[in-house]
Amino acid sequence: MRVAGTVRVPGDKSISHRSLILASLADGESRIRGILEADDTRSTAEVLRGLGVLIPALAADMKINGVGLRGLRASRAALNCGNSGTTARLMAGVVAAHPFSSTFEGDASLSRRPMKRVAEPLTYMGARFDFESGDGLPMTVRGADLRSIDWDTGGSSAQVKSAILLAGLIAGVEVRVAEKTPSRDHTERMLRAMGVDIENDRNQVCLRPTRRLTPIEIDVPADPSSAAFFIALAALADEGELRLTKVGVNPTRSGFLQAMKRMGADITETVAGRKGGESTATLRVRPKKLRGIRITEDEIPFLIDELPLIACVAAGAGIDLEITGAAELRVKESDRINSVVQNLQAVGAQAEELPDGLRVSGQRRDLSGTIDPRGDHRIAMAFGVLSAVTGNGITIINPESVAVSYPGFWQDLRRVAA
């Protein structure tokens, strides 16, 4: 396989969600360029519309007139989050501080994902949560006047942290959140850019009360989790070079790049700029022989979304890989540990599950067969990369699942890989 060309992957999904939410809560007009136009972000936009915000159709250049920190109104219908866990968890924090009840629902996959992790701290702050079954969706949040909180998550979750920060922001109370390892900090960066007094100190973040959010103008960087698929593609190629432009290089999202460099990948970065608290870079990637690595618990928060792809890179390169401390993968859009291992085995790779991770045994071979991503967009794209490697013949069931985060993935893949 030869790679060639330039790819500008879609806007960062995490930043796109947050820009929609925070622009809606600002006093005045915000401008967002480069937002991710995909199913997950449309879910967030639709939930905000249900709560009374006039969100236009998602577009490359859009404006949102915010309603202020306490300007949302109760929805007459359940708020449908589709497949988006970020929508459900972050918006739970938002509505928890409002004096009305909101019911969240989602598709079958999202309905199985745990919500207790956000319900616990928000309940402590004074909100009430009702679940129809277990701790998944449907979920009803009964908002209240919330009190201050000093919460230790016991792990590392940007969604839990952000839900608490948003609840404290709207309630006008100080909140502190401690984590085992710092999670991605897009919420803090955007809040700071909008005038909020928020401080990160190693593994702890503190938000102090504010009366208003200043409108923001933001250029959403290209999503590093989407760029990762093309970094992997170029690293596994036989020849050529790929150029990826305006990729977000937030330090809390750098784990995949660091892991690939440890594998020996040939990646160069040229810093492009900084706006809205986020930096971007142009990445150039060339093929190079890779070597095996181990990924342990401390690294997981910085590359949690890219772990299925790293497993496919190891299988494609014929190198040893061991991942531990990643039990969180079992409660993503699918049980990603089980899904990755079973699908790798289905195409002839040597892989095995661990309780909190997986192991791939190195031996380069042509891989062929049919894989089922179980509706998980990241699994589909990871095996899409593996299918492009010379000698492989892999068929992917329901490839349209990529629409959740990267609707144009298959077109971009065909354009740059020959």
Active-site residues, by number, are 305
Ramachandran class of 100: left when φ > 0, alpha when ψ lies in -120 to 50, beta otherwise: beta
d(CA 333, CA 298): 22
Encoded tokens for 279 = 């930096």
DSSP string, 219-235: EPPBPHHHHHHHHHHHH
Other residues' Cβ atoms within 10 Å of the Cβ of residue 316: 26
β-partners of residue 232 are none
| Short-list 337, 343, 373, 376, CA closest to 358 | 337
Whether the upstream peptide bond of residue 182 has omega within 30° of 0, thus cis, is no
DSSP 8-state secondary structure symbol assigned to residue 257: H
Other residues' Cβ atoms within 10 Å of the Cβ of residue 27: 17
Q: Is 230 exposed, middle or buried (0-12, 13-18, 19+ CB in 10 A)?
A: buried
Q: Which residues, other chains included, contact 190 with Cβ-Cβ below 8 Å and sequence gap of 6+?
A: 15, 18, 19, 22, 216, 218, 276, 277
Query: 339-377 burial, b if ≥16 CB within 10 A, otherwise e?
Result: bbbebbbbbebebebeebbbbbbbeeeebeeebbbbbbb
3 state SS of 354 = strand
Q: Which amino acid is located at 49 in the chain? A: R
DSSP string, 79-97: EE-TT-HHHHHHHHHHHHT
